[in-house]
Structure 1
């Protein structure tokens, strides 16, 4: 039985991961630190935190594996610097703190095109996070790189929603890499990666998720 940490549980993919993890017999407990409270569940430990000031010595950092689905947009964050803090700094800090307490596997919901050398700020941020996570030496590290994510978000993202609708209409004509991936499928791959603990660094590309 595993003790699993999930960061980003209030987002679209994170919510799917949470539901799947709570229903999975291999998971003894889900530790999901969030800013706002989640609905209670017998297998859920939900510490309320400020990600800018994480409690480094909290006992709930003791987990076997971590799944990270944290993410925002520049519009919501308010600036590139604030976006970088959420999409790079927070996931990296969580990785460090959980590893310090014994975590052996880390699965990240990254993005198609993640590349530290990219000229696109979003893709460069995701790529830099992947690069920096690899320096920590996790025995099992998985990057899941979806393109457009299908599902109903609580947060309004008009441009993304339009792109998803258009891509869904054109789905039969698009290469597999650019097809909409349901959030539940991404969650499935993240959960299997975290619990499976395959040694080394793996990248699951968008076409492997659909």
Structure 2
């Protein structure tokens, strides 16, 4: 039987790569990708247009085998720490809650290097709190992929991140593997493999293991 996978965050850099790989994957029969704006049609794609602030509790499309979450923004784009927290913590958690309620057994999250619920850094603390809260939902298979800087062509401008990526590329021979730029395609591959494998328990994949 082919897998039915839900992808939250299909329009972002990593999410776009997950979507393409998932649609091409022979073991996947359908990709459910809720988005705020319609995606290009594809025979294997179900694309509910939603408001992530008010996700439908009882939609039939929540019934999937696995979830991949690549939702995320920046504080600058979100406009405030509170708005950032909703996108990077509350929305991924709500997606997880609803999918788990409808029977999803695996959840793979694109988290971040340094995720720690006790961190003094707001970004890292937000990612860590999401990881902590996801563990309370009872997924038989839960995977956190923690990349550092992500390489790829974004549809939006992130100057600070772009500078960091360029510096990391220049210094690559001197940097430990964990701090090198990770191609979005590799992150997507790891997320997809984790979701399909449904390995029992909690799994954390650090940046150096993605390369």
So what's the TM-score if we normalise by structure 1?
A: 0.99
Q: Report the CA distance between 1:172 and its aligned residue.
A: 1.2
- Distance in structure 2 (CA, Å) of the matches to 1:161 and 1:42: 35
Secondary structure of the 2:35 match is coil
Question: Paired residue for 2:84?
Answer: 83
Secondary structure of the 1:5 match is strand
Do structure 1's residue 121 and structure 2's residue 122 form an aligned pair? yes
- Distance in structure 1 (CA, Å) of the matches to 2:30 and 2:166: 36
Cα offsets for 1:129-176 (capped at 9, x unmatched):
000000111000000000000000001100000110110111111000
Do structure 1's residue 168 and structure 2's residue 169 form an aligned pair? yes
Question: Paired residue for 2:102?
Answer: 101
- 1:12-161 mapped onto 2 (5 Å cutoff): 12-161=13-162
Q: RMSD of aligned C-alpha atoms?
A: 0.4
Q: Report the CA distance between 1:103 and its aligned residue.
A: 0.1
Question: Paired residue for 2:203?
Answer: 202
- Distance in structure 1 (CA, Å) of the matches to 2:202 and 2:156: 31
Secondary structure of the 1:165 match is helix
* Stretches (4+) displaced over 3 A: none
Which deviates more, 162-171 or 142-151?
162-171
- Distance in structure 2 (CA, Å) of the matches to 1:186 and 1:172: 21
- Distance in structure 1 (CA, Å) of the matches to 2:166 and 2:45: 34
Segments of structure 1 that go 5 or more residues without pairing to the other structure are: none
Secondary structure of the 1:141 match is strand
Secondary structure of the 2:168 match is helix
So what's the TM-score if we normalise by structure 2?
A: 0.99
Cα offsets for 1:9-41 (capped at 9, x unmatched):
000000000000000001000000000111110
